[in-house]
């Protein structure tokens, strides 16, 4: 079994204006207890993992000693030829922490950049500036960690096309192997929502999405998933586990996993988790749900899925099963079919409209 492992670290030193993830302000004693609970939860696992992803929150908010404990613990679960990713925020990192990453075999770092525009970073309540990102990338590379991904947000309040172009020019010059893009959504219970801040409108966001696609593909990036770009061979193996519907284990408060046909989410209550109580929400994925998940997840990918593979897994002919939906999608020029089915490149921004046809 080549499963993947996700570990959630819910602590952050500050709260970003748009954030609706499950996170709390960093507290040293709480974080130390949390790491003990992670260790207990992981002890149930006898497996090694091809990919491990430590996300958050912000794992880099942990102290040097705590990060050392976390990496000591998790690196024991690495299989051969692994991908070991950690999410970091630039302002949390220093040379000592970077050396720890290298020491324990972390070979992929995902940096919460969002934008290289200091004015916009301020609006997002991010605590770094663009020079912090440049320094961090240089330091990671100096220490032999070349596989770097960044998060890039667009559709920000007050962001113009010129700002976006500037971000993309910087990214190109940095030769980063992987970029995850996110349109800003103003979710309930976020600082933006409370303050009545609005993201750019749909048309402007669509223009930006399109511009990002054209720019990055021109410079050699492949949009392998609706919002993710990579240079050849630098796709996120861990995230492909999710999109290809394969199994993964989730550890930590609010972590989700998928094992033995069960999708589960650990308790969302940090207090419960710290007290050793982990009441999971679980959902058994039967054949019908499995098919829908397979379709929805795979159509996020630029190359969709193979019709033969679908037939092998579900013992039915996809084109026959969904013939009405497919006819309509072809009439609307939304999909292409050869031996595979996939969403047309220029229709990826409205992927959800395609997915609606398969959600019954
Ligand atoms: S660092 Fe990430 S998890 Fe923490 S507040 Fe910002 S967006 Fe949310």
Mean pLDDT by 10 residues, the chain (360 residues): 89 96 94 98 92 97 98 96 98 98 98 98 97 98 98 96 98 97 95 94 95 97 98 98 96 96 97 97 95 96 96 96 96 96 94 91
pLDDT for position 1 = 54
Q: How many A from CA of 189 to the centre of ligand 1?
A: 14
Tokens of 280: 């999971």
334 Cβ contact list (under 8 Å, min separation 6):
343, 344, 347, 350, 353, 354
Q: Is 101 in the pocket of ligand 1 (CB under 6 A)?
A: no
Q: How many A from CA of 190 to the centre of ligand 1?
A: 11
pTM over 0.85: yes
Neighbours of 54 (CB within 10 A): 27
Q: How many A from CA of 203 to the centre of ligand 1?
A: 27
pLDDT for position 46 = 86
Distance of alpha carbon 327 from alpha carbon 325, whole angstroms:
5
C-alpha to C-alpha distances, 327 to 210, 310, 315, 332, nearest whole angstrom: 26, 18, 21, 9
């Amino acid at each position: 079994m080549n499963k993947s492992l996700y570990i959630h670290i819910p602590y952050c030193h500050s709260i970003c204006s748009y954030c609706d993830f499950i996170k709390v302000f960093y507290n040293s004693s709480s974080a130390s207890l949390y790491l003990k609970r992670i260790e207990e939860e992981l002890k149930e696992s006898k497996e090694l993992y091809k990919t491990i992803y430590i996300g958050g929150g912000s794992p880099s908010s942990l102290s040097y000693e705590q990060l050392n404990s976390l990496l000591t613990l998790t690196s024991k679960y690495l299989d051969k030829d692994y991908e070991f990713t950690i999410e970091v925020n630039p302002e949390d990192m220093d040379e000592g922490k970077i050396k720890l990453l290298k020491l324990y075999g972390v070979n992929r770092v995902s940096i919460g950049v969002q934008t290289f525009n200091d004015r916009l970073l301020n609006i997002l309540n991010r605590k770094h500036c663009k020079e912090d990102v440049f320094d961090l990338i240089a330091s990671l590379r100096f220490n032999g960690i070349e596989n770097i991904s960044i998060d890039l947000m667009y559709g920000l309040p007050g962001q113009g096309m010129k700002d976006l172009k500037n971000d993309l020019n910087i990214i190109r010059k940095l030769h980063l192997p992987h970029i995850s893009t996110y349109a800003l959504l103003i979710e309930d219970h976020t600082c933006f929502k409370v303050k009545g801040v609005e993201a750019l409108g749909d048309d402007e966001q669509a223009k930006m999405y399109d511009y990002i696609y054209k720019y990055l593909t021109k410079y050699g990036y492949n949009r392998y998933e609706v919002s993710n770009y990579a240079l050849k061979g630098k796709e996120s193996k861990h995230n492909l586990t999710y999109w290809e519907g394969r199994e993964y284990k989730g550890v930590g408060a609010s972590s989700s996993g998928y094992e033995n046909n069960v999708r589960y989410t650990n308790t969302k209550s940090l207090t419960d988790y710290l007290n050793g109580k982990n009441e999971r929400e679980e959902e058994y994925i039967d054949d019908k749900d499995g098919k829908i998940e397979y379709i929805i997840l795979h159509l996020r990918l630029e190359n969709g899925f193979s019709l033969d593979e679908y037939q092998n897994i579900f013992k039915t002919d996809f084109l026959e099963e969904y013939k009405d939906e497919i006819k309509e999608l072809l009439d609307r020029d939304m999909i292409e079919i050869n031996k595979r089915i996939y969403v047309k490149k220029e229709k990826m921004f409205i992927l959800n409209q395609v997915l609606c046809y398969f959600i019954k």
